Structure 1
Amino acid sequence: MSATLDLADPANRPAPVSARSAAGAGAGAEKPSLVGMSREELAEALGTIGIPEKQRRMRVGQLWHWLYVRGASDFSQMANISKELRTKLAEAFEIARPEIVTEQVSVDGTRKWVVRFPPRGAGRPVEVETVYIPEEGRGTLCVSSQVGCTLTCTFCHTGTQRLVRNLTAGEIVSQVLLARDRLGDFPDADTPAGAIVPNEGRLVSNVVMMGMGEPLYNFDNVATALGVMSDGDGLSVSKRRITLSTSGVVPEIVRAGEETGVMLAISLHAVNDELRDELVPINKKYPLEKLLEACRNYPGLSNARRITFEYVMLKGVNDSMEDARNLVRMLKGIPAKINLIPFNPWPGSRYECSDWDQIERFADYVNQAGYASPIRTPRGRDIFAACGQLKSESERMRKTDRERMESARILELSGNGEA
């Protein structure tokens, strides 16, 4: 049975922050956040409050350690920084965590947080979803890069929510910090009782940019955030354990490899342009031929650094054995693995998941052709945390309210008509 944690209960609350920090995180007057800044940007920020240039490198190192190794969310926790400097930092900057609206735990241990950020031009506070997937040897965090999405992929729930705005680098990084807080993945922090987490090592060991939004349409902020996540003196997530998933923004793919060095995943889902135009409409702008050419040119591509091609299994749409043969033929010559994803249903979707025996036949063929093709077992379906199910909770509720009002209006009109 899934559960939604009561964040009014002190035992379930995130690490406490000062009243000033909490107000700065969610109110109108926003201070710049140091979270998500590169080292160079952090040094520049310190210069604005009068830190002498010869001290900045040392101060950046101190702040970096407190933010990303110790997990500090308030300047008062930074014990080896003078009280005077901590006060100056607190007056000018912010490092508090974003607000958690809800935290849900699936029967399989998957956790989903609805996270609220300031408006930043959106007119009202915005929300995204962040998902943690625990497995035996790793813990994967699915991170969002945008509020909503412009791509309208027909099998994806996020695509039904219009794009509100890009997330900042700090808002992207803060999802990792928040998850490590809640899981007890920082020093001196406790893991929640009964939580399903890896038996050893970091609890958040892998990061996938597969949450809400298209990461390559928010390139600069995503690239900065990935640089912070992979810094060896901080969060220290190996670039081999960070995967950026794109629906196929061809002009940015090679650049992503050059500037981030992380692993690449392609949201593919079809083996011909006609079907992909329908499932992934960006294909009309960047068809398969151009997409596959960009993949072949991805920097660092090798058998040790394969591209993952994600393929959602839709009953009677893209799951025939002919599709399997064409998929293998299409990817020939590209060091790749194929991730088969059973379709995860959501309200209003017109698709069904392929039958399980057909998924297995499809997987067997792809495996025999030399592509590692694990079937991604659905995780977190009961809390709408599975692939393709993410959507802002407030947007989901607004849609429900609109539908309820429309139903009431129809009933009223029907009653008037009968009278």
Structure 2
Amino acid sequence: MANLALLKRRSAPEAITPEVRALDVEGEPQLIGASRAELAGHLAAIGVPPGQIAMRTAQLWHWLYVRGVEDLSTMTNVAAPVRQALADRLPVGSAEMVEEQISSDGTRKWLLRFPAKGAGRPVEVETVYIPEETRGTLCVSSQVGCTLNCTFCHTGTQRMVRNLTAGEIVEQVVFARRRLGDFVGAERAAKGPVEGRMVSNVVLMGMGEPLYNFDNVKAAMAVVSDGDGLSLSKRRITLSTSGVVPTIERVGAEMGVLLAISLHAVRDELRDVLVPINRKYPIAQLMDACRNYPGLSNARRITFEYVMLKGVNDSLADARALVELIRGIPAKINLIPFNSWPGAPYECSDWDQIEAFADIVNRAGYASPVRTPRGQDILAACGQLKSASQKVSARERRAEAV
């Protein structure tokens, strides 16, 4: 077992940021990510007659999320004056691709830039596409940076900048589907599932803690799961949280998506170091929230994510304790070999140890797949995402303006 005192010295500061609502931003609206009601409001604002608003809203929705168009001028069944008035009022979207990296295993990582909001700067986030034989999974970011400082996660070394808007979250999905040729009438532009959609699953496991941006994530997933547009089943959307206990119930009740818990330890003393939010919401509270998750069943299991850290949390005693901890919860456990990054304070567990750990969990009746590392050569694997965006103080902004 690693020296816990040493890990504590390496860990994040004691202070845990409880909420980041102050980091929500307001800026120019856009079509992508707007709800139907918001689209109707934009149409009313440009003078579309009330009797036409429902029809025009449906047309816009189809062009944005079934056809994936980038230009209002291509929406041929929308009257030209309406198109022009909308174009004068707001853009379709705002994402700019800064960089695309393609791994040797087919994984793709995009660095996307979004324009400045309010007094802020443009920001960048990473979005990752993971192709497999039977599905294509898109890993989406919800924040620029992160407040939680999990010590095994590269994103945790980046200071929190701001929440992403609902439009910026939805646009990651739309961008990926355009880039991959995944909209109606497009040709596939990359390796993907043998059949069906290129993007068949979305996981909110990118940069940030989704439950510290709940309202925007909820609004974004409502658009992504709308049956007349992107039409992604809620059973193919998974939200991963480090354990914001008071908001977990709302995920099931208000969003209805699958839940994943970034667990990584079975003892509070260790989880306090690996996942510092545990100091605010310890394991017992987290497990109670999981047992009471709305809609929990064998068909809608909770996924517990457990990164395998050599000599830290990978003992067979830890495996047995994990089984006891989740007993009675319909669940599966994803064992994640640690993906290193520059300056990381941990090593990945030996493969024999991972297999022995998984065997104990499997024999207890829980599926425990070992997640195959994907995109490691482009730092696109679990826990490796980070952008160059930095929070800038008012003093720094004033200095730049001189």
Q: Fold match, TM over 0.5?
A: yes
1:377-412 CA distance string (max 9 Å, x none): 1000000000000000456xxxxxxxxxxxxxxxxx
The Cα of 1:231 is off from its aligned counterpart by: 0.4
1:369 equivalent among 364, 368, 371: 364
The Cα of 1:32 is off from its aligned counterpart by: 1.7
Query: What code does the residue aligned with 2:240 have?
Result: S
1:98-138 CA distance string (max 9 Å, x none): 10000000000000000000121463210000000000000
User: Given that residues 94 and 115 in structure 2 are in contact (C-alpha distance below 8 angstroms), is that contact kept between their aligned partners in structure 1?
Assistant: no
* Aligned counterpart, 1:287: 282
Change (3 A) 1:269 1:117: same
The Cα of 1:53 is off from its aligned counterpart by: 2.4
The within-5 A match list for 1:168-207 is: 168-192=165-189, 195-207=190-202
* Aligned counterpart, 2:67: 70
In the superposition, the TM-score normalised over structure 1's length comes to 0.85
User: Given that residues 309 and 338 in structure 1 are in contact (C-alpha distance below 8 angstroms), is that contact kept between their aligned partners in structure 2?
Assistant: yes
User: Given that residues 97 and 178 in structure 1 are in contact (C-alpha distance below 8 angstroms), is that contact kept between their aligned partners in structure 2?
Assistant: no
* Aligned counterpart, 1:405: none
The within-5 A match list for 1:10-409 is: 31-121=28-118, 123-192=120-189, 195-393=190-388
Query: What code does the residue aligned with 2:242 have?
Result: S
User: Given that residues 336 and 370 in structure 2 are in contact (C-alpha distance below 8 angstroms), is that contact kept between their aligned partners in structure 1?
Assistant: yes
Tell me, in whole angstroms, the C-alpha distance in 1 between the residues paired with 2:267 and 2:118. 39
Tell me, in whole angstroms, the C-alpha distance in 1 between the residues paired with 2:49 and 2:140. 36
Could you say what secondary structure the match of 2:188 adopts? Answer: coil
Change (3 A) 1:73 1:300: same
In the superposition, the TM-score normalised over structure 2's length comes to 0.89
Could you say what secondary structure the match of 2:101 adopts? Answer: strand
Could you say what secondary structure the match of 1:69 adopts? Answer: helix
Tell me, in whole angstroms, the C-alpha distance in 2 between the residues paired with 1:367 and 1:73. 47
Tell me, in whole angstroms, the C-alpha distance in 2 between the residues paired with 1:154 and 1:96. 34
After superposition, the CA RMSD in angstroms is: 1.3
User: Given that residues 114 and 393 in structure 1 are in contact (C-alpha distance below 8 angstroms), is that contact kept between their aligned partners in structure 2?
Assistant: no
The Cα of 1:43 is off from its aligned counterpart by: 1.4
Could you say what secondary structure the match of 1:232 adopts? Answer: coil
Tell me, in whole angstroms, the C-alpha distance in 2 between the residues paired with 1:309 and 1:57. 42
Deviates more, 1:55-64 or 1:155-164: 55-64
Tell me, in whole angstroms, the C-alpha distance in 1 between the residues paired with 2:209 and 2:119. 18
Change (3 A) 1:30 1:221: closer
User: Given that residues 340 and 363 in structure 1 are in contact (C-alpha distance below 8 angstroms), is that contact kept between their aligned partners in structure 2?
Assistant: yes
**Which one has more relative contact order, counting CA pairs under 8 Å at least 6 apart?**
2
User: Given that residues 307 and 335 in structure 1 are in contact (C-alpha distance below 8 angstroms), is that contact kept between their aligned partners in structure 2?
Assistant: yes
Question: What percent identity do the matched residue pairs reach?
Answer: 72
Query: What code does the residue aligned with 1:191 have?
Result: R
1:262-308 CA distance string (max 9 Å, x none): 00000000001000000000000000111111111111000000000
> Where does the alignment leave 5 or more consecutive residues of structure 2 unmatched?
1-25, 391-402
Tell me, in whole angstroms, the C-alpha distance in 2 between the residues paired with 1:41 and 1:254. 27
Tell me, in whole angstroms, the C-alpha distance in 1 between the residues paired with 2:351 and 2:88. 57
The Cα of 1:364 is off from its aligned counterpart by: 1.0
Could you say what secondary structure the match of 1:324 adopts? Answer: helix
* Aligned counterpart, 2:14: none
The Cα of 1:97 is off from its aligned counterpart by: 4.8
Tell me, in whole angstroms, the C-alpha distance in 2 between the residues paired with 1:122 and 1:326. 49
The Cα of 1:52 is off from its aligned counterpart by: 2.4
The Cα of 1:190 is off from its aligned counterpart by: 2.4
1:318-340 CA distance string (max 9 Å, x none): 00000000000000011110000
Query: What code does the residue aligned with 1:253 have?
Result: I
